Each structure stands twice: as C-alpha cells, then as structure tokens.
Amino acid sequence: HPSILHPPSLSGVRVLVTAGPTREAIDPVRFLSNSSTGTMGFAVAEAAARRGARVTLVAGPVTLATPPGVERVDVETADEMLAAALAVEADLVVAAAAVSDYAPAEPSDQKLKKGEGDLVLRLRRTPDVLAALGERRRDGQTLVGFALETHDGDAHARAKLERKRLDWIALNVQGEPGAGFGTGTNRLTLLGRGGQRVEIATAPKAEIAAALLDVVTAAPHDAAP
C-alpha cells in the first residue's frame, strides 16, 4: 500500500485507541470475556504513532507488546475502560476494543464453590465506552467504531454509527475467510456518516490499519461520495 511508504503526517494529532477484550469478574479467579486478541487496535495505534500522532492506547488484557512511541493504559473491566477513555483528550478516536456488554451483577469476593444444581448468574449491562464518547463529542473530533457482525452487516453497522454518533464504522464480517478475531489478516468495509462506503481488501492488519487511517483522516472533500 502506498501509504506505508509515504504516509501522510499526523503530527500533533491526538489519537485515542481502545483495544482488546475486557474481563468482568464472576469471583476472584473467574471472569466473563471474549476472544479478542487486540491485534487490530494495536496495529492502528502503531500506524498512527508512526505518522507522528500522540497516541494513547487503552488496552484490555492482551499479550501484545506496546508499539513504539505509544502511551499505554492497561485496564481490565468495561468500567475501567470508560474511566480511562474519558480521561483522554483526543482529536481522533478509534474504538477497536471488544468490550463485554454484560458483567456479573453481584461478583463474589470469595471463590464460588460448586453445588449439586445449576448456577444462575445475573448480568448487568456495562457502560458503552464509545457511545459515552459520542455523547461528549466536540467539533473537529473524529470518532471511529468497529462492528463485528455475523448477518445484515451494513444495516447493523449503520445503526451503530447513528446510535453512537460516529463519523465512521469499520464493518468486519465474522465467518469470512481472513477476517475477524485471531487472524493475521483482515478485511473491512468502512461506512461513513455521509453515506460513504469504502472497501479495504484483505491484507495484513498493519496495512489495514494504514488504509483505515488514510480514509478517516482524509479531508472531507477527499472522501469518496
């Protein structure tokens, strides 16, 4: 991709990236989570830092190394991710985290012992980090979300774009070869608030990250109609 050789500068741009899963405690040794590896978010953080942006990466529990020049804030839960994200002043937000939508409502402070019967857990809704940022959005800020969908991808992703007041949403279709969780490559469709639809073909996540930054940081008049 040409932007890997001659990337446009993001010097002075403050970027917030959320990445990875969150973990919601059931008891001191057990949690609810998902299989996000954080790779896509880390790739976006790395690509933005390489272009000179001031990048804060709010990361759930992942095993990845911090990209060079990136300020990293580690969190575990959705509540912690919300607090960390709200503390960052950003011009561009890329929310790649797979935030758990629910958390055990009454986590046990002691390890649960098993009984004879089934266990019923009541779950509470966690805060929506990206929607909270959308509610606080200010002029000139660009908000980008991700949507991993298994069906009716465009419609679900567009609904999220509206609901969370985003500029762009990157749609991932789970089940497609070479896309989604745990793969080295990805394929995205970027849907814009102005009705834009930009396909980013299957490529290593570093190239996808560069292409995503190209699209979401282009001046509005550069964007495809």
113 known ligand binder: no
C-alpha 177/C-alpha 25 separation (Å) is: 33
Instruction: Select from 182, 189, 185, 176 the least CA-distant residue to 203.
Output: 185
Least Å from the CB of residue 38 to ligand CTP: 12
Which span (5-13, 58-66, 124-132, 185-193) binds ligand CTP, by CB under 6 A? 124-132
Residues 42-101 that bind ligand CTP (CB under 6 A): 78, 95, 97, 99, 101
Which span (19-27, 95-103, 167-175, 200-208) binds Ca ion, by CB under 5 A? 95-103
> Partners of 24 in the beta sheet?
32
Task: Name, in order, each residue with C-beta under 8 angstroms of 81's C-beta and a sequence gap of 6 or more.
Answer: 18, 22, 58, 60, 75, 97, 99, 129
> Partners of 148 in the beta sheet?
172
Instruction: Determine, following the binding rule CB under 6 A, whether residue 130 of this chain makes contact with ligand CTP.
Output: yes
SS3 189: strand
Instruction: Select from 72, 16, 36, 73 the least CA-distant residue to 186.
Output: 36
130 known ligand binder: yes
Least Å from the CB of residue 192 to ligand CTP: 15
**Interacting partner of 145 out of ligand CTP, Ca ion, none (Cβ under 5 to 8 A depending on kind):** ligand CTP
127 known ligand binder: yes
Instruction: Determine, following the binding rule CB under 6 A, whether residue 129 of this chain makes contact with ligand CTP.
Output: yes
Task: Check if the beta carbon of residue 178 is closer than 8 Å to that of residue 203.
Answer: no
Tell me the per-residue interface mask from 97 to 116 with Ca ion, x by CB under 5 A, - otherwise: ----x---------------
One residue of 24, 46, 128, 167 binding ligand CTP per CB under 6 A: 128
∠ CA 9-202-13, rounded to 5° = 20
In the complex with ligand CTP, the residue whose CB is nearer, 7 or 90, is: 90
Task: Check if the beta carbon of residue 213 is closer than 8 Å to that of residue 142.
Answer: no
C-alpha 84/C-alpha 74 separation (Å) is: 9
Q: Which residues bind Ca ion (CB under 5 A)?
A: 101
* Residues annotated within a binding site for CTP: 101, 111, 127-130, 146, 160, 164
Give residues in contact with ligand CTP (CB under 6 A).
18, 78, 95, 97, 99, 101, 126, 128-130, 145-148, 160
